[in-house]
Chains A and B, each alone.
Chain A
Amino acid sequence: MDHSATTPVDPLVLDSMLPYFSELFGNPSSLHSFGNEASEALSLARRQVAEIIGALPEEIIFTSGGTESDNLAIRGVIPHDSGKKHVITSAVEHPAVLNTCAFLEKVGHDVTYVPVDSNGVVDLEYLEKSIRDDTIVISVMHANNEVGTIQPLKEIAQIAKKHGICFHTDAVQSVGKIPVNVDDLGVDLLSISSHKIYGPKGVGALYVRKGTMIEPIVFGGNHEKGIRSGTENVPGIIGLGKAMVLAQERLEPDSEKMRQMRDSLIKRILESVDDVRLNGHPTQRLPNNVNFSFKYVEGESMLMLLDMKGIGVSTGSACSSRSQKSSNVLSSLGIEDEYIHGSLRISLGRENSMEEIDYVVKSLKETVSKLREMSPLAGK
């Protein structure tokens, strides 16, 4: 129930990768036949990824994952010798984008963080007003990793186009869950991660629209057209290609199944538990994302009790995981203090079933009521 964190590698993906660890171990840059085999496999993966998102193979740059793709997209489009520039992003981005922007501010660039409404949707008017003559790039995620809100990318793309600004989106959470097509969305750069779509960890891709000016942030032997040097992670890239193909094939049935489970879970919890709210957009949300906030209880405690029942979830509360920081996404949504500490994200995957949803509903109700009995706030 924590598929937005990561997913298991699909057996078919693993099978496609295995030969490239052993008998097909060639370096794609080598000119001999061992190298050619690897190089051809790489081309196939590049075509697979490109076709699924409606791009050209030469517009795909393989990276080490979503984080590197985000870093490359944003830092790469700011010419290295250009002096001070301006970047626009949203307040609810993944740390891969937010911390890249924080770094840019530190070295002298300006960044505008566009606020979101209570459903997590970026304020388009604010975004357009913040555009300056020296704005280089707008980076807004396709779907939010915590609350699942899907952003109006087409509208943002129109604004970016009107002002001649490069538009990047982090599509790490949306690929494989909702249709992602670079022309439909109107983006110039798009980040993809493999391990969120039943592919291996440590590999991803960045789509770079033809004609987009981008400079490398990693230098070396000019792999990936010089935009991302370093010998390609051949097995990983093969796995990403296969995972993309499978995700595309299963997109409709999988998302429909997850949507039904999601809606059932939301409906049953909202109906049977008091003082609970759904975070994120009621309809414009990822088919696999549920994010609740329960009053009077704390997220990490819920997480732990559910973990003991065999259910893995995540929380944006201050004591969550190992970060000790409250979720900036939830506070950007303006969620009240009484609710913000009791947040819980349940992210579904293709292998989940309605029986498991029944178990989650039952376990979640037990967990909340057990913790509320202990809470000095409940019943006051």
Chain B
Amino acid sequence: MQVSDPGGVYLYSKKVIEEFSNPSNVGSIENADGVGEIGSTVDGDIINISIKVRDNVLEDVKFKTFGCVVAISTSSMVTKLSKGKTIDEVLELKNEDVIEALEGLPEGKDRCSGFALDALKMAIEDYKQKNK
């Protein structure tokens, strides 16, 4: 059997591995104020993000993701970066902020890194539509 040293040589940064193997905010919020979902089984990535909003602040953010290491780690990071922030602050978040917080992504693996943030922004859009 091939044995690799845990914490040894990985393609990904330590931070990515950390978020991936021990993700934060997994789940879906019951009676969420907004939900965003992106992807399909054809693409092989589905990210679902639900939010609870109070006084314009994202009081709770949760994710459920079917996908690769990048999809799961960016989902987890996006929920962490947005939880407790105002809607305006979250809308200013960029994909680069997520990648930076993950201490970078390997070349060629950043293709689908923006999906989690897109799903979060869709959840905010959904909230806005419902509260017009």
Contact = CB atoms under 8 A, between A and B. Distances in A.
Interface of A: 1-2, 296-301, 304-305, 307-312, 317-319, 322, 324, 326, 337-338, 340-341, 351-352, 356, 373-377
Interface string B45-56: 111100000000
B28 A376 contact: yes
5 contacts: A304-B69, A312-B1, A312-B4, A373-B26, A376-B66
Interface string B68-99: 11111000000000000000000000000000
B6 A308 contact: yes
A377 B64 CA distance: 9
Main secondary structure of the interface of A (DSSP, over half): loop
A374 B26 CA distance: 6
B6 A377 contact: no
Interface string B1-32: 11110100011000001001101001010000
Given A312-B1, A374-B65, A319 B70 contact: yes
Contact of B111 (A1, A305, A324): A324
B11 to A, nearest CB: 8
Contact of B3 (A298, A310, A319, A326): A310
A377 B66 CA distance: 7
B68 A300 contact: yes
A377 B41 contact: yes
A376 B64 contact: yes
B67 interface: yes
Contact of B44 (A298, A304, A311): A298
Nearest to A324: B108
A45 B70 CA distance: 47
A365 B70 CA distance: 22
A2 B2 contact: yes
Nearest to A303: B69
Given A319-B44, A337-B42, A376-B37, A310 B6 contact: yes
B20 A301 contact: yes
- In the complex, which range does the number of interface residues on chain B fall in? 35 or more
Contacts of B10: 304, 307
Contacts of A300: 68-69
A319 B43 CA distance: 10
A300 B17 CA distance: 13
A115 B91 CA distance: 49
Nearest to A323: B108
Given A298-B67, A337-B41, A376-B64, A1 B72 contact: no
Shortest Cβ-Cβ A-B pairs, 6 listed = A319-B68, A312-B2, A376-B64, A341-B44, A376-B48, A300-B68
B68 to A, nearest CB: 4
A322 B108 contact: yes
A374 to B, nearest CB: 5
Nearest to A336: B41
A327 to B, nearest CB: 11
A310 B4 contact: yes
Contacts of A298: 44-45, 66-68, 71
A352 B68 contact: no
Contacts of A1: 1-2
A282 B17 CA distance: 36
Contacts of A376: 28, 37, 46-48, 64-66
Given A298-B45, A338-B41, A376-B47, 11 more contacts: A297-B66, A299-B68, A300-B69, A304-B21, A308-B17, A311-B1, A312-B1, A318-B43, A337-B40, A341-B66, A374-B65
A373 B22 CA distance: 12
A62 B15 CA distance: 46
Interface string B106-122: 00110110000000000
Contacts of A338: 41
Contact of B72 (A301, A322, A341, A356): A301
A377 B46 contact: yes
A209 B72 CA distance: 52
B41 A341 contact: yes
B46 A319 contact: no
